[in-house]
A = this chain, B = another copy of it.
Amino acid sequence: MPMLHTVNKSPFERGALESCVRLAIKGSSVLLIEDGIYGATKGTTASDMVENAMKDLDFYVLGSDLKARGVDEGRLIDGITVVDYSGFVKLAVDNDKVQAWL
């Protein structure tokens, strides 16, 4: 059953993204929000983990949280989709359930 995972923690300080990637079933979607958006950027100590996970999972990132933190979309890992809040709602609708990795 398709599932939406939300991650709102920085991958540099907390283990939430790593746990999400370890325990999300193949074909799931992962939406990075709040401080979680730093996980979407390339050239970091967390990028390899995310790029590897993208073989099995679809990654999204909340645009308004990127913009708030001054992260230019040009710095995102290729293949991560930027969504707005209505895109967040659509992801929640299109998946059967939502798990927040708090």
Give the interface of A toward B (CB within 8 A). Answer: 12-15
A14 to chain B, nearest CB (A): 6
- The docked-state distance in angstroms from the alpha carbon of A12 to that of B15 is 8
A60 to chain B minimum Cβ distance, whole angstroms, is: 24
Expressed in whole angstroms, the minimum distance between the Cβ of A101 and any Cβ of chain B is 12
Shortest Cβ gap from A49 to chain B (Å):
15
Measured in the bound complex, the distance between the Cα atoms of B12 and A13 in whole Å is 10
- Cα of A13 to Cα of B19 in the assembled complex, Å: 10
A8 to chain B, nearest CB (A): 14
Q: Measured between alpha carbons, how far is A12 from B16 in the docked complex, in Å?
A: 11
- Chain B residue contacts of A15, Cβ below 8 A: 12-14
